[in-house]
Amino acid sequence: MILSVCGKGGVGKTTVSAVAAQALSREDGRRALVVDADPAGGLAVALGLEPRKTLNDVRKEIIEEVKAGGRDEKDLAVSLDYLLAEALTEQGNLALLSIGRPEDAGCYCKVNVILKDAIEGLAGRFDATIIDAEAGIEQVNRKVLSSVDYVLLVSDTSAKAVKVARTIKGVADQMIGGQGTGLLVNRARDADEAGAVERGTDLDVLGWVPEDDTVRRFDGEELSFLELPDCPARAAIVTALEKTGLI
């Protein structure tokens, strides 16, 4: 099961992804891959994990091998597989893979194709994968998320955020196809506010997450969400994740 958390910037995607990671960490017998696909690296911070190496670091190393010559595609694939394994930061049954900063100038399209294929292969080694996607539609538009089974759209209660979520679904339907999608309304003040959002959209609303002082404190103090105690926001997010089939 591969699930991607998508939406407008600032709506709480990383919080939802971090809670998903924590929920998966509590499932005995399941190995989970957590992908921080946002160059800002917010998920790694939220989980209190420091990536040993990022995908951008891996990309640079592969580029150096290409420049050095003497490597055919098969050799590069083997080297890439080794470098990706090195880039995993593991804690318990979780493995974190972080994309790192944006790519340097220049085009190494063939290497990037191998990289994309290798990530898909890596996800296949885990029982569950959660991807904290970059804000907006670019990663969907570029088919970065082509192997995703479910797109969890996150929005706050603003009309703009809901509109962005609807746009992402439209792009996902065209570019990916076949995956499930659902909307999680974050930071709602009460059921009436969340209900107003649901009535104003044709998206499948999985639930709503209340404003929560515990989550706010963990964000503000940069505490690891792997240690987040039971609280209303966590309970609401886990309930929505159960509906996606991730947990």
pLDDT for 208 equals 98
Could you list the residue range(s) of the whole structural domain that residue 220 is in?
2-244
With a cut of 50, say whether residue 90 has pLDDT above it.
yes
In the chain, % of residues over pLDDT 90: 59
What is the CATH classification number for the domain harbouring 207? Answer: 3.40.50.300
* Three-state DSSP state, 194: helix
pLDDT for 59 equals 78
Taking the complete model, does pTM exceed 0.85, yes or no?
Answer: yes
Choose the weakest-confidence range: 7-11, 106-110, 165-169: 106-110
User: Helices 232-244 and 13-25, interaxial angle, to 10°?
Assistant: 80
If one counts the domains in the chain, the total is 1
pLDDT for 143 equals 62
Q: Which has the closest alpha carbon to 33: 101, 142, 131?
A: 131
Start-end of H helices in 26-70: 42-47, 55-68
If you ran DSSP here, which 8-state letter would residue 26 be given? T
